[in-house]
Amino acid sequence: MISVKEAKQLIMGAALTKKSELVALQYAHGQVTARDIRAMIDIPNFHQSSMDGYAIKYEDKDSLLTIIGEMAAGTSRQLVLNKGEATRIFTGAPLPEGADTVVMQERICLENGKLLVEDQTLLKGANVRLKGAEVESGVIAMAAETYLSPAAVGFLAGIGCAEVWVYSPPKVAIILTGNELQEPGRPLDFGQVYEANSVQLKAVLNKIGVRDITVQTAEDQIEVLQDVLQKALDTHDIVLLNGGVSVGDYDFVPLVAQRCGVEQQFHKIKQKPGKPLFFGTKKDKLIFGLPGNPSSSLTCFYEYVLPVLENRMGLTNSLTEITARVTHDYPKASGLTHFLKASYSNGTVTPLHAQESFRLHSFAQANCFIVLPEESKGCLAGEEVAVHLLPG
Ligand SMILES: Nc1nc2c(c(=O)[nH]1)N[C@H]1C(S)=C(S)[C@@H](COP(=O)(O)OP(=O)(O)OC[C@H]3O[C@@H](n4cnc5c(N)ncnc54)[C@H](O)[C@@H]3O)O[C@H]1N2
Ligand code: MOO
């Protein structure tokens, strides 16, 4: 058995190289740019009014001005302003040629159809968005490794970008082992349990933007599992086997992985829950044998799989490490790192009631793990403990 630290090092050491792809902007939200993005044109593409009012030459601000026409947003007709002239103008509209300033309509008066500016504080260039003020043609508008937030995709749309190079989310295969699994919504026969692991794994995968997820079930037979794993390895980047990884007579994952040419990196970690975790590689593919107990499966996913996936997608690890004061004693024997389902709020953290790995009741209420190290004998109320905040 290896330590948690050694396991993490082995997994991150084997992490896949990043791949990138060109996607339509509408699908890029939540991903990370893989290349610098250059502006192809000036934005705004013309000198633009930022107010409803009148476009003038600043030097004319003290004269009575003739209004020669109107510039509305979207107009393709350009007007030319000569000395002593103004145009009506609206927010977003192009400035007429020769104008350099916009006076707000609240700060004028009209005398016999002529315009008199009544703005003592008016500055040259007021209420004008200059051509190229957002980005100038040819500059890097967005650097590689930028997270595409809603504002970021909005910005790219605003500079006319319709496609963007992003790091590709890996293709993930989930393989469920076990003859006892039943789909939620159907009646349970004797000995059956509802299948929960793929549901929770898909929920996290979807959240971080992994789109290509397949779920397959394999009966507890070596040949069947081998066939399913082989096909998954041919078509996916990461394989998440669930169950069948312990020492029972039907726990075939390590054997089948070996038969499929997977190189075992480790099997079993000094931790609870999730002790039987298996990890192997085949070329640049990663194969995780997650323990079948639902709580163990999800704990191992958060601690070991999520960081690799996020790294591969250029995302920062969403499992945030902090420390907090624990509200209750929690004794344990030394020898295993414990990941306790817990609730964090305002600098304090409370271990939750049900820690057994077959249950998800407390996990459903948890927002973090308390991490009690291998050598520790637990914690006392008031002590500072390590906490891993779970992504929402
Ligand atoms: N003699 C020993 N027995 C066990 C040991 C051990 O060290 N010696 N380790 C225990 C630990 S710890 C764990 S964790 C489990 C892991 O077992 P497996 O990974 O082989 O998983 P299974 O036996 O297939 O299933 C365990 C448990 O989880 C339920 N399960 C499985 N898949 C799902 C699913 N998709 N959705 C819901 N529930 C699932 C399954 O029905 C079992 O109850 O081994 C211990 N045994
Ligand atoms: O490690 Mo197992 O995951 O405790 O039940």
pLDDT per residue, tens digit, the chain (392 aa), is 999 999 999 999 986 689 999 999 999 999 999 999 999 999 999 999 999 999 999 999 999 999 999 999 999 999 999 999 999 999 999 999 999 999 999 999 999 999 999 999 999 999 999 999 999 999 999 999 999 999 999 999 999 999 999 999 999 999 999 899 999 999 999 999 999 999 999 999 999 999 999 999 998 899 999 999 999 999 999 999 999 998 888 889 999 999 999 999 999 999 999 999 999 999 999 999 999 999 999 999 999 999 999 999 999 999 999 999 999 999 999 999 999 999 999 999 999 998 999 999 999 999 999 999 999 999 999 999 999 999 98
Nearest CA residue ID for atom 12, ligand 1: 275
* Nearest by Cα to 53 from 66, 68, 72, 76: 72
What's 157-173 look like in SS3?
HHCCCCEEEEECCCCEE
The reply to whether ligand 2 has any atom less than 6 angstroms from the CB of 357 is yes
* Nearest by Cα to 266 from 236, 245, 243, 294: 245
Neighbours of 83 (CB within 10 A): 10
At residue 314, the pLDDT reads 96
The reply to whether ligand 1 has any atom less than 6 angstroms from the CB of 53 is no
Report how far residue 220's alpha carbon sits from residue 215's, in angstroms, rounded to the nearest whole number.
16
The SS3 call for residue 187 is coil
Q: What is the Å distance from ligand 2's center to 292 Cα?
A: 9
User: What token pair was written down for 352?
Assistant: 């939750």
Nearest CA residue ID for atom 5, ligand 2: 357
Report how far residue 335's alpha carbon sits from residue 293's, in angstroms, rounded to the nearest whole number.
21
User: What token pair was written down for 44?
Assistant: 């705004």
Q: What share of the chain is helix, strand, coil (3-state, %, to 5)?
A: 20, 35, 45
CATH class of 320-389: mainly beta
Q: Which of 357, 358, 360, 362 to mutate to test the pocket of ligand 2 (most atoms within 8 A of CB)?
A: 357
The SS3 call for residue 281 is strand
Report how far residue 240's alpha carbon sits from residue 175's, in angstroms, rounded to the nearest whole number.
6
The β-bridge partners of 348 are: 325, 345
Residues of the chain with CATH 3.40.980.10: 4-18+169-312
Residue 339 CA: which ligand is closest? 2
At residue 251, the pLDDT reads 85
Q: What is the Å distance from ligand 2's center to 145 Cα?
A: 37
Residue 292 CA: which ligand is closest? 1
The SS3 call for residue 17 is coil
Note whether 358 and 193 are within 8 A (CB).
no
Please list, residue by residue across 308-317, b when 16 or more beta carbons sit within 10 angstroms of its beta carbon and e when fewer do.
Answer: bbbbbbbbee
The reply to whether ligand 1 has any atom less than 6 angstroms from the CB of 271 is no
Report how far residue 355's alpha carbon sits from residue 298's, in angstroms, rounded to the nearest whole number.
13
Residues of the chain with CATH 2.40.340.10: 320-389
Return the residue matching tokens 């250059």. 38
The reply to whether ligand 1 has any atom less than 6 angstroms from the CB of 297 is no
Q: What is the Å distance from ligand 2's center to 327 Cα?
A: 25
Q: What is the Å distance from ligand 1's center to 357 Cα?
A: 9
Q: Which of 293, 337, 357 to mutate to test the pocket of ligand 1 (most atoms within 8 A of CB)?
A: 293
The reply to whether ligand 1 has any atom less than 6 angstroms from the CB of 195 is yes
The reply to whether ligand 1 has any atom less than 6 angstroms from the CB of 220 is no
* Residue 246 backbone class (left: φ over 0; alpha: ψ -120 to 50; beta: rest): beta
**Ligand 1 atom with the shortest distance to the CA of 198:** 35
At residue 390, the pLDDT reads 97
- What are the CA-CA distances from residue 327 to residues 196, 332, 363, 390 (Å)? 31, 16, 18, 19
Strand order in 53-56's β-sheet?
A: 101-104, 53-56, 85-89, 65-71, 114-117, 108-111
Q: What is the Å distance from ligand 2's center to 277 Cα?
A: 9
The reply to whether ligand 1 has any atom less than 6 angstroms from the CB of 294 is yes
The reply to whether ligand 1 has any atom less than 6 angstroms from the CB of 11 is no
At 303, which amino acid appears? E
Which residues lie closer than 8 Å to 148 by C-beta, 6 or more apart? 28, 29, 30, 31, 32, 33, 156, 164, 166
Task: Report the complex ipTM.
Answer: 0.98
User: What token pair was written down for 281?
Assistant: 């590689």
Residues of the chain with CATH 2.170.190.11: 48-129
Report how far residue 296's alpha carbon sits from residue 118's, in angstroms, rounded to the nearest whole number.
73
Q: What is the Å distance from ligand 2's center to 359 Cα?
A: 11
The reply to whether ligand 1 has any atom less than 6 angstroms from the CB of 296 is yes
The CATH number given to 4-18+169-312 is 3.40.980.10
Q: How many DSSP H helices and E strands does the chain contain?
A: 7, 28
Report how far residue 71's alpha carbon sits from residue 253's, in angstroms, rounded to the nearest whole number.
71
Q: What is the Å distance from ligand 1's center to 291 Cα?
A: 6
Residue 245 CA: which ligand is closest? 1
At residue 250, the pLDDT reads 80
Superfamily of domain 48-129: Molybdopterin biosynthesis moea protein, domain 3. (2.170.190.11)
Q: What is the Å distance from ligand 2's center to 192 Cα?
A: 20
Q: What is the dihedral of CA 42, 44, 47, 50, to 10 degrees?
A: -160
Fold of 20-42+135-167: Molybdopterin biosynthesis moea protein, domain 2 (3.90.105)
Nearest CA residue ID for atom 28, ligand 1: 293
At residue 93, the pLDDT reads 98
Residues of the chain with CATH 3.90.105.10: 20-42+135-167
The reply to whether ligand 1 has any atom less than 6 angstroms from the CB of 176 is yes
User: What token pair was written down for 24?
Assistant: 């339509």
Phi, psi of 255 (to 5 degrees): -65, -45
* Nearest by Cα to 209 from 23, 17, 11: 23
* Nearest by Cα to 344 from 316, 371, 363, 325: 325
- Residue 99 is classified by DSSP as -
